Amino acid sequence: MKLSQRIQSNGFYVFAAAVVLFALYTRSWAGTLGFAIIFGIPLFAMGELPPYATRAQKIGKYAYLTICTMIFIFLVLPILVIIPLSFNAEPYFSFTDGMLALDSAAYSLRWYADIFRFGMTAPDAIEGWWADMWANATWIRAARNSFFIAIVSTALATGFGTLAALGLSRPEMPFRTAITSLLISPMIVPLVITATGMFFFYGGTMQGIIPGYENGLANTYLGLVLAHATLGVPFVIITVTATLTGFDQSLIRASQGLGANGWTTFTKVIMPLIIPGMISGALFAFITSLDEVVAVIFLADVDQRTIPRQMFSGLREQISPTILAVATILVIMSILLLTTVELLRRRSERLRGLSPG
Amino acid sequence: MSDATLDMPVGGTAQRAGNEPLVAADGTPLKQKLAQTTRRMKLRALMLTMPLVLFVLIAFVAPIGDMLFRSLYNPTGSNVVPAFAEAIQQWDGQDLPSEETVKIFVEDLAKARRSREIGRTVGNLATRLNYELPGYRSLVTKTARRAARITEGPYKEALFAIDKRWEERIVWTTLQRITKDYTLAFYLAATDRKYDADGSIVQADELYRIYVPILWKTIWVSALITALCFIIAYPVSYLLSTLPLRISNLLMILVLLPFWTSLLVRTSAWIAMLQTEGVVNNIFVYLGIITDESRIQMIYNLQGTIIAMVHILLPFMILPLYSVMKTIPPSYMRAARSMGASGTYAFMRVYFPQTVPGIAAGTLLVFILAIGYYITPALVGGNDGLLISNLIADHIKKTLNWSLGAALGTILLVVVLVFYWLYNKLVGVDNLKFG
């Protein structure tokens, strides 16, 4: 159906009348926009129904699409809502009247500035501002901790995980189910239990075992890196094994038959094929570590606080829109990561000839 | 390979006659050679996984084993009063312990009072006794303060003079029990049970029965969240699986975005949405459903926890459902309809049964993840939204009753592992995928 035809259809008139009535009744542009989105999108998504479709079928399909629209809104609205809220000029978590009236005075960047200034010894000094911010600003220090722990643990998880996935996807692998179950279990076992165990083991039992860590691994970076690497392992295993299904094992034999040794076979034949899976597994492990907070609560001291740990105490103690500003930055980062993984997945499917696109 | 060809025995291919088995180039029977090679290949595959298996064993399984151990092992009693811990085990549990045993107890207490070592102070013993007999903490601390002044017998009477409660037999039976290093007491406490004076297991007093109700509550809340996720995810997954790939990939981003967004971000987003001045309440006021004065308290309670957790776990339901639905050919439904089945009948008898694998995968995964959730209930749960994980964390971080925390953790772990086993049986871990 052409757009012009659809606009002429009865449904559109009903919809337009409803929107106008709604606008007159509530007198709020935000409300009307929401109403138009919820009931308008299904109207345009109806598509072509067979000419013999009854009115009940049409209404049924419209109702179904409306429900789906609402579910999609339920999925993304909470995440999108925090973006405008982070520009709030007032120290609240809610929309002020000024914000709804699109008054530019009701918006400000003060909470973004606060990310850098909070915790600094002299936030208004001009000399030494950068050094002070880098060393003392609470959120910046948390970000440094987060990234350091995430990068090291991702490297560990990806290295070990890829190797193990290569073994697991060989057809002659013994005890495959048992070993896979074991390696996936860090994702399944509740984080509180993992963290409790690590709190006992790293903090107590490990005392005096590793040289240089006489007081155990609690309150150390090493402990957190080990914990997060463990939690990232299942994601690497899952994504890399997924890339390896449908991997033609005869390629390995072909390369060996042509005289390549194990290392050459790995770097020249296996690696190029599984690299998309490795990268998405690494990204999963990275985001898991960046997002993880339970192990940090149990194992970290103030010195090792990460971004989510800082958000956790912020949400418990003093709720300030700085958290929303940080959250907005994290959302943008997840969008970038998501896009990367999606592109990699398509590339991998194309490489393995699973899909044309 | 080259070695094998060099010293190839005479009995290679030429002399094979009669029933002699086939042999490989190096003279070993072919069957044996094949078994050898397979074994070597198996070993090589195993060696590839070994580094990670070892890593996971040390960094993950050992800590959990440590937790299991600590739920059974609590040496507080024998640490604080070592001599008494040995002596009291001779007592038969009748009347009161002998004068000699009580003397050792008094001496041990006096010694322990001077101790400053962590885990060996009188306070540790008092706390440990208080777990078993609530309100008896002061009995130990008070007696320890005066123990040094008791220099001669009769020791029993001296204790009775300090506190009448020393005449109760249950104090001594409890002391006998808690000075043993291995105990099931914390599992009893975790299931709302305790020992009585004779050492038999009874239900805890009404007031102290909290863990079993919380465990049941955790299970039904998780079941409710799973059900809600299923109801919400099913129509959306169906829509995604029927749309053309170009559009469904775009819509999939709407599903994956929450999946990739930080848990803390999503939880703070729900605080912004559901608080009394939040977006949802504002919408209700705009629509005139409620007045400005009667805004609904939607967060910091069980309801808020459920809403936020459904949102957080929804992608784990949509993704497996979608990947199963995508494989169902639409022609099956059309065939059913063309043979006269009504829409509902065709759906119930043809489409729905084919989606059951996806349902099993999704519901089990969501349930397993929900039952151990900690962060969201801790942040938006208020008082009535607390789940078993929050109690475990409280015992580890706040009340410092580590053994009880470990026992509760072990019980939760067993529940989760049962469902994980079920998942393995029904779905298979190999079928876990993201995106």
| Whole-number Cα distances in Å, B399 to A41, B395, B404, B406, B410 | 53, 5, 10, 13, 18
Could you tell me the two tokens for B231? Answer: 């109801």
Average pLDDT along chain A: 87
The superfamily CATH assigns to domain A137-351 is MetI-like (1.10.3720.10)
Q: Which pLDDT tens digit goes with each residue over A111-138?
A: 999 888 888 888 888 888 888 888 888 8
- The reply to whether B356 touches chain A by the CB within 8 Å rule is no
**Contact with chain A for residue B255, Cβ under 8 A:** yes
Q: Please give the helix or strand (H or E) that residue B181 lies within, else none.
A: none
Average pLDDT over residues A180-193: 94
Interface test with A, best of B56, B270, B277, B412 (most A CBs within 10 A): B56
On the question of pLDDT at A189 being above 50, the answer is: yes
pLDDT at residue B241 in the model: 92
Contact A194 B63 (CB under 8 A): yes
CB–CB contact A78 B430 (8 Å)? no
**Which residues in chain B have Cβ-Cβ distances shorter than 8 Å to A337?**
260
**Spans in chain B with pLDDT lower than 70:** 1-19, 433-435
Per-residue model confidence (pLDDT) at position B435: 47
Determine the residue of chain B that is closest to A289 in CA distance: B262
Chain B residues with CB under 8 Å of A284 CB are 434
**Where in chain B are the domains?**
2-72, 76-183, 211-431
DSSP class of residue A189? S
Place of tokens 């005479």: B10
- Vertex A62 angle, CA A58 and A68, to 5°: 145
Query: How many A-B residue pairs are in contact by the CB < 8 A criterion?
Result: 280
Q: Are A160 and A233 in contact (CB under 8 A)?
A: yes
**Burial of A290 per CB tally in 10 Å (0-12, 13-18, 19+):** buried
Q: Where are the domains of chain A?
A: 3-85, 87-134, 137-351
Nearest to B374 among A79, A164, A294 (CB): A294
- Non-local (6+) Cβ contacts of A187 within 8 A are A231, A234, A235
Q: Residue A202 has what DSSP assignment? A: I
* A156, A225 Cβ separation under 8 angstroms: yes
Residue B434's pLDDT is what? 61
Q: Which ipTM score applies to this complex?
A: 0.87
Distance of alpha carbon B242 from alpha carbon A37, whole angstroms: 22
Q: What is the DSSP letter of B205?
A: P
Chain B residue numbers with beta carbons less than 8 Å from the beta carbon of A334 are: 257, 260-262
The answer to whether the Cα torsion of A278, A283, A286, A288 is positive or negative is: negative
- Contacts of residue B211, defined as CB under 8 A and 6 or more positions apart, other chains included, come to B189, B190, B191, B192, B388, B391, B408
> According to the model, what pLDDT value does residue A357 have?
37
Q: Which residues of B touch A242 (CB under 8 A)?
A: 433
pLDDT at B433: 66
Smallest CA–CA distance, residue B263 to chain A, in Å, is: 7
CA distance A292 to chain B (A): 8
Per-residue confidence (pLDDT) for residue B134, from 0 to 100 = 86
Find which of B1, B34, B48, B60 to mutate to test the A interface (most A CBs within 10 Å of its CB).
B60
Looking at residue A331, its pLDDT comes to 92
pLDDT at position A234 is 94
Residue A243, pLDDT > 90, answer no
Q: Which residues in chain B have Cβ-Cβ distances shorter than 8 Å to A202?
A: 63
| Torsion angle, alpha carbons of A235, A240, A246, A249, to 10 | -140
Asked if B372 and A190 come within 8 Å (Cβ–Cβ), the reply is yes
CA distance A106 to chain B (A): 17
Q: Does B186 touch chain A (CB under 8 A)?
A: no
Neighboring chain B residues of A183 at a CB cutoff of 8 Å: 49, 52-53, 56
Lowest pLDDT segment from A49-53, A178-182, B86-90: A49-53
CATH dotted code for B211-431: 1.10.3720.10
What pLDDT shows up at residue B114? 84
CB proximity B216 to A under 8 Å = no
pLDDT of residue A4: 55
Distance CA(B323)–CA(B255), nearest Å, equals 13
Percent of chain A with pLDDT over 70: 96
Contact B287, B254 (CB under 8 A): no
B289 — contact with chain A (CB < 8 Å)? Answer: no
Residue B114 is classified by DSSP as H
CB contact (8 A) between residue B372 and residue A177: no
Q: What is the pLDDT of residues A78-111, one digit of tens each?
A: 999 999 989 988 888 888 888 877 888 889 898 9
